[in-house]
């Protein structure tokens, strides 16, 4: 329910009774990497030729890099060329209003080395959610990673 406050701005009554104060806490680099490695769905963002893009991807973290498969003629194929990217991975609980979010900045490129491609094809951790001829492997080499967590005070 929305009502007007004395300042003329709407007040939102979202039915959430627990109003205990929550606060953000930074997540250290290693914990960020561990959380990214333990998940397999994120959003990748980059500056495309005409507009910024942000799309969901299924990925795997292997040997310190992020890998995903895509269509060779799809929009994500732009990332086969060296491109500055951001990957966001998060886990949020709307009921408790707690969770975490991590942003990894790095550079993408196509995987072209035959031995590395053979290892990636043999991996069962890089099965895309979407169907299609997803034969292009993209690697993201991390430069920076930072995250934060929101939770109730203890």
pLDDT at position 12, please? 42
Fold of 25-151: Pnp Oxidase; Chain A (2.30.110)
pLDDT of residue 123: 83
The residues spanned by each domain of the chain are 25-151
Distance from the first to the final alpha carbon of the chain: 30
Task: Quote the CA–CA distance of 36 and 145 in Å, as a whole number.
Answer: 10
- Residue 47 pLDDT more than 50? yes
109 band by pLDDT with thresholds 50, 70 and 90: very high
Q: How far is CA 111 from CA 66, 82, 106, 134, in A?
A: 11, 11, 15, 13
113-139 pLDDT tens trace: 989 899 888 887 788 778 788 989 999
3-state secondary structure of 15: coil
């Amino acid at each position: 329910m929305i009502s007007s406050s004395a300042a003329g701005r709407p007040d939102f009554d979202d039915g959430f009774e627990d109003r205990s104060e929550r606060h953000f806490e930074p997540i250290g680099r290693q914990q960020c990497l561990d959380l990214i490695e333990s998940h397999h769905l994120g959003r990748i963002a980059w500056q495309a030729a005409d507009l910024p893009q942000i799309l969901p991807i299924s990925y795997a973290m292997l040997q310190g890099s992020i890998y995903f498969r895509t269509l060779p003629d799809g929009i994500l194929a732009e990332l086969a060329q060296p491109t500055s990217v951001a990957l966001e991975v998060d886990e949020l609980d709307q009921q408790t209003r707690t969770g975490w979010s991590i942003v990894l900045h790095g550079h993408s490129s196509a995987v072209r080395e035959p031995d590395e491609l053979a290892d990636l094809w043999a991996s069962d951790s890089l099965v895309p959610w979407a169907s299609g001829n997803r034969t292009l492997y993209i690697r993201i080499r991390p430069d920076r990673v930072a995250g934060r967590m929101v939770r109730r005070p203890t």
